[in-house]
A and B are shown apart, each in its own frame.
Chain A
């Protein structure tokens, strides 16, 4: 630091606070009067704003639409309320600030700071007080008390953790199960109608759910795991091994619609490239190669559902999913 001090010696000098320059409103009573009027006008405008708000609330029906350039068709009721409120508030603020800047004193005041550090004597006293206090409690001399207190405090910290246990059930193998079983029919979502292969043209996509028995209600938790996407293409377009090919039916292939990355619905299908794209993080899956990830942050293909047709010619699952659907978790493979 000695280095820097030697240079500070011939510093350019501080000229001190510049002399105060009076405003026109300080010297010219006419200007002051004008400023006063301007402030009053701003406050009056604010009052008009509130009147506009009251008017819009009572007299403009909330079904009135007016055309405003740039904004287009606009609800006049909401707009009147909002503009009235905006004008009312803004003009109070503008008036107050204009008042402060033109008519209130504008001479800057200098106040001295003090260092936050207390003087040495006070600090020594403080340290002494703390030490004495600690010594009087005798924590250092009575290790038994210290240890048992520590253990008691630590244990009591478990209470909230324990009491929060009933926030939810344990996952068990819930995350690994869906409602798809061998022979479960695929039904349209929405509509809950079973599907025949001929319902799907080549290039078509359908969102499906497992058929539920009569009376069983479909909840969002079910859709979050069960949603399946059906895609039909020409069988020769598939580039699958024989096992995966046997999971398809007449060019119809079925994948879990829940993204293997973070669980969004993989909803965008590009017909020309046969790619599925998740709109959340743009993971891209190649349908012809069993939904292999060809781009983006997803690390795994979408699970494929093996399908076939039942005796009545409706599409059904051959078997449950061979792996858990949706985003990864620690015990996914165990």
Chain B
């Protein structure tokens, strides 16, 4: 036994003497994690969250979350002598006088963008592969919660410097609060401690941004990861992988080295972006003044689609008994996002209601094998993308020599027309891919070799695909649609007849599939080739 092994043994013994954790540790250090590039997306979110905590803590040492008015005397000459809030002045100090301050500010902002894009792409991976199915519905809901909070946290974060751009963003948020029927103006006065903008807002959102929301994040992320750990990770289908096993690498040492290494890679890439790619140059915007605005005011991208919805909204307000209801703000600002996030959170339950499938699933779907779900996802993405494009309509219009009116009318029509088209096209594409899979299994791979038959006919030689590939292309399950009875045994309509009829219809649409190749079909066809 070498000295090093003895020390390791002693440490393990020391820990076990005090916790009795040897058995648990042994089991969990050998925990198996399946390998796939798309499983790194969630890791990117976790790591950028850690980067956000580290860089954010650095920023708090100098940032002064106060709206008290000061006259700027700092290093940035163009703003010297200008009246501004202490928050903005300290953000300038971090950018120009603290060594590494600008780098940290830019790392913090880039990490926030990476965190949000990571969440969205991770969510897409989980959605399109059906990883949200039983038993992982809770984790899906936690994920949707993290996405929603992430949008809020990001918005509050870029509002803190109190520059002209972020102040405009807060003004818009205030208008949304104020538009809430009955209590809107009260809520706004409570939030801002009086008339907009007042002196209370920055210190208040500072506490929410650096304490309240990060605390909630930490709790939710911990539960999210514990559930992944306890339920074991899903895996993609393939030879030897089943619903009953998990195939992959052990935590110690391979996964630890890879995951730990990946943290440093994410941090390194974020630092690189912070070093070379300028982001949110607040000194160019000037301090916030409600009487001013800069052209091309844009929120960060994860807010951009909401702003795009607000921009394309038709100018509708109703006046009822002397009271004003601003549909042009309520629908795009509160009602639509409410429907979208609720629908997102409930999707696992909606799908299991459609399929009637209440079993556990640990093998992921290839998106083509769940055409309806994939099409719903494509539809939602198209909706969001059109909104996002409209969120940048002024920038796009000036870049491509269009008018704002053309952009806006394109979006207003496209937001209604394109999502259903995306649904239909995606569903057709999925079914075509299923057909291609079936052909590949039954007829083999095209080799590109042409052979001339004795009768003069040219044929292309097909080569059978490997048993592993054939298994991959046929291992998915094709569930039959629900057939809920509409009449009971005596031929009388049941009370739930209409609901069952609708459910059957949706279930049939959901179960549409190209029958996968079977062994019998393959043998029959082999005779012909």
Which residues of A pack against B, CB within 8 Å?
Answer: 1, 3-4, 7-8, 10-18, 57, 62, 71, 75, 77-79, 81-83, 85-97, 99-101, 104-106, 108-113, 115-116, 164-165, 167-171, 174-175, 189, 207, 209, 220-221, 223-225, 227, 257-258, 261-265, 267-268, 277-284, 293, 295-300, 326-334
User: Which B residues touch A169, using CB under 8 A?
Assistant: 189, 193-194
Number of interface residues of B (CB under 8 A): 121
Q: Is the CB of B100 within 8 A of A116?
A: no
**28 A-B interface contacts by CB (under 8 A):** A10-B520, A14-B239, A15-B240, A15-B468, A57-B100, A78-B103, A81-B103, A86-B274, A87-B268, A99-B257, A100-B261, A106-B249, A109-B248, A116-B360, A171-B188, A174-B189, A223-B289, A262-B171, A263-B290, A277-B404, A279-B295, A280-B168, A281-B310, A299-B326, A299-B328, A328-B324, A329-B178, A331-B323
Q: Is the CB of A90 within 8 A of B265?
A: yes
Q: Is the CB of A168 within 8 A of B193?
A: yes
- Distance to closest chain A CB from B104 (angstroms): 9
Q: Is the CB of B518 within 8 A of A7?
A: yes
Q: Is the CB of A95 within 8 A of B261?
A: yes
The answer, among A18, A277, A330, for a CB contact under 8 Å with B185, is A330
* Among A88, A109, A298, residue most surrounded by chain B Cβ atoms (within 10 Å): A109
User: Which A residues touch B272, using CB under 8 A?
Assistant: 82-83, 86, 90
Which residue of B is nearest A49, CB measured? Answer: B268
The answer, among B96, B103, B175, for a CB contact under 8 Å with A85, is B103
User: Which B residues touch A93, using CB under 8 A?
Assistant: 261-268
Q: Is the CB of A296 within 8 A of B291?
A: no
* Among A85, A268, A331, residue most surrounded by chain B Cβ atoms (within 10 Å): A85
Distance between Cα atoms of A189 and B195 in the complex (Å): 21
Query: Does B42 make an interface contact (CB < 8 A)?
Result: no
Query: Does B315 make an interface contact (CB < 8 A)?
Result: yes
| Given A93-B264, A262-B176, 19 further pairs, Cβ under 8 A | A10-B518, A11-B518, A12-B441, A12-B471, A13-B471, A82-B275, A93-B266, A97-B261, A106-B249, A108-B247, A113-B362, A207-B291, A224-B197, A282-B404, A296-B315, A299-B317, A330-B180, A333-B323, A334-B322
* Among B175, B181, B329, residue most surrounded by chain A Cβ atoms (within 10 Å): B175
- Distance to closest chain B CB from A231 (angstroms): 15
Which residue of A is nearest B296, CB measured? Answer: A279
Which residues of B pack against A, CB within 8 Å?
Answer: 30, 32, 35, 96, 99-100, 102-103, 106, 135, 168, 171-172, 174-176, 178-186, 188-198, 200, 231-232, 239-250, 253-254, 257-258, 260-269, 271-272, 274-276, 288-297, 307, 310-317, 319, 322-326, 328-329, 360, 362, 393-394, 404-405, 408, 441, 467-468, 470-471, 474-475, 477-480, 515, 517-520, 522
